[in-house]
């Protein structure tokens, strides 16, 4: 009858097989940590500097551009928040049409900026 390898067997063959499997698993985890690819997009590295950092050049540019864009969005949202008309109770069109239009416009712009920022961060987070 042939020997059936198991994780509980103490024979030399099974011990060597388990040691080899552990070594292979350790090498795989080291490859993942050291980086066979970008930690953001998992693409293979093209340059040594990318491997040292763990992020590919494309993702570095994407993150920089995302940060610039989110900074601009924050600035625009802060300008809207600073405007006192944004915090007034909603004006009625029959009473004060210009203020009502301004408030609706500000609210729509603020909401759109917030949604774009959330989607941008969600898309580039991974």
Ordered per-residue pLDDT tens for the chain, 126 residues: 456 666 677 777 777 777 777 777 766 665 555 556 777 777 777 766 666 667 777 888 888 888 899 999 999 999 999 999 999 999 999 999 999 999 999 999 999 999 999 998 887 765
30 and 68 in one domain?
A: no
Structure token pair of residue 8: 């509980």
Residue 10 lies in a domain: yes
CA angle 106, 108, 110 (to 5 degrees): 65
In which domain, by residue range, is 5 found?
1-34
How much of the chain is helix, strand and coil, in % rounded to 5?
A: 75, 0, 25
Q: Which of 29, 23, 26, 22 is nearest to 7 (CA)?
A: 22
Q: Considering its fold, how many domains does the chain have in total? A: 2
118 and 75 in one domain?
A: yes
> What is the residue whose two structure tokens read 């990318």?
50
């Amino acid at each position: 009858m042939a020997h059936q390898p198991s994780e509980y067997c103490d024979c030399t063959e099974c011990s060597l097989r388990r040691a080899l499997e552990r070594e292979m698993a350790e090498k795989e985890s080291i490859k993942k940590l050291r980086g066979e690819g970008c930690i953001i997009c998992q693409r293979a590295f093209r340059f040594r500097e990318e491997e040292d950092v763990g992020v590919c050049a494309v993702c570095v540019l994407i993150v920089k551009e995302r940060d610039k864009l989110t900074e601009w969005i924050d600035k625009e949202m802060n300008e809207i928040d600073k405007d006192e008309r944004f915090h007034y109770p909603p004006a009625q069109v029959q009473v004060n049409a210009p203020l009502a239009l301004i408030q609706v416009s500000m609210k729509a712009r603020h909401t759109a900026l917030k949604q774009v920022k959330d989607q941008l961060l969600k898309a580039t987070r991974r």
